[in-house]
Amino acid sequence: MANYTGPKVKLSRRVGVPIADIPKHTGKRQLNPPGMHGFRGRRLRDYGVRLNEKQKLRFHYNVMERQFRRYVAEAGRKPGNTGTVILRLLEQRLDNVIRRLGWARTIWQARQMVAHGHIKINGKKVDRPSYQVNIGDEVTLKKTNGEKLVRENMESLPGHEVPGWLEYNPSTLAAKVVATPTPDQVPFDVNMNLIVEFYR
């Protein structure tokens, strides 16, 4: 699967919101349009508004368009609200779980940790960032240099809160999926109705 490797702050600037909770993205200066006076461009039409919402969600979870379309198609086949199911599928990605635990500062760092084989699910190494965790799955770290990196990242994220659908023990660096994530537990503001409409 392809992956975006260009400048990340450029993505935040493009959609007008910080897609990562680090100072590099959340600073007001970074979100201003480029140029001395900040060229604002034209007002978005209906299509542009929906496209922007979809891009915000894609960039936040670091998912390419083809993969995102698969999530939308899968959510359409499952029972329940399509927008809620899309969010649940994205939240249950392994790289996102690592970010929500605070083991990585950004989704890109979390993806790298998984791809390099530092993460184990139920005692078995998993190196696919898109792996879907389920209720009852235990997430642990492989006995490598990853533990030092994780502790450093946790110290650099003071006040980070682990969502309620994850049970976490900081002393042993072990976590367990205890529930299904709900939209109100996602710390990212996005209008899912506009995204579902975009694909109709």
- 98 and 83 share one domain: no
Structure tokens at 140: 């642990």
pLDDT in tens, 105-157: 889 999 999 999 899 999 999 999 999 999 999 999 987 777 888 888 888 77
Number of domains in the chain: 2
The CATH number for 126's domain is 3.10.290.10
Q: Residue 139 pairs with which residues in a beta bridge?
A: 121, 175
Domain containing residue 61 = 9-90+187-198
Encoded amino acid at 70, one letter: R
- The verdict on 116 and 64 lying in the same domain is no
Question: Are residue 141 and residue 160 in the same domain, yes or no?
Answer: yes
* DSSP reduced 3-state for 125: strand
Q: What is the pLDDT of residue 2?
A: 67
Q: Report pLDDT digits (tens) over 49-67.
A: 999 999 999 999 999 999 9
Same domain, 164 and 104: yes
If you count DSSP H runs as helices and E runs as strands, how many of each does the chain have, helices first? 10, 5
Instruction: Say which range, 35-49, 71-85, 178-192, has the weakest mean pLDDT.
Output: 35-49
Residue matched to tokens 């500062």: 105
| Lookup: tokens for 37 | 């006076």
Residue 28 pLDDT class (50, 70, 90 cuts) = low
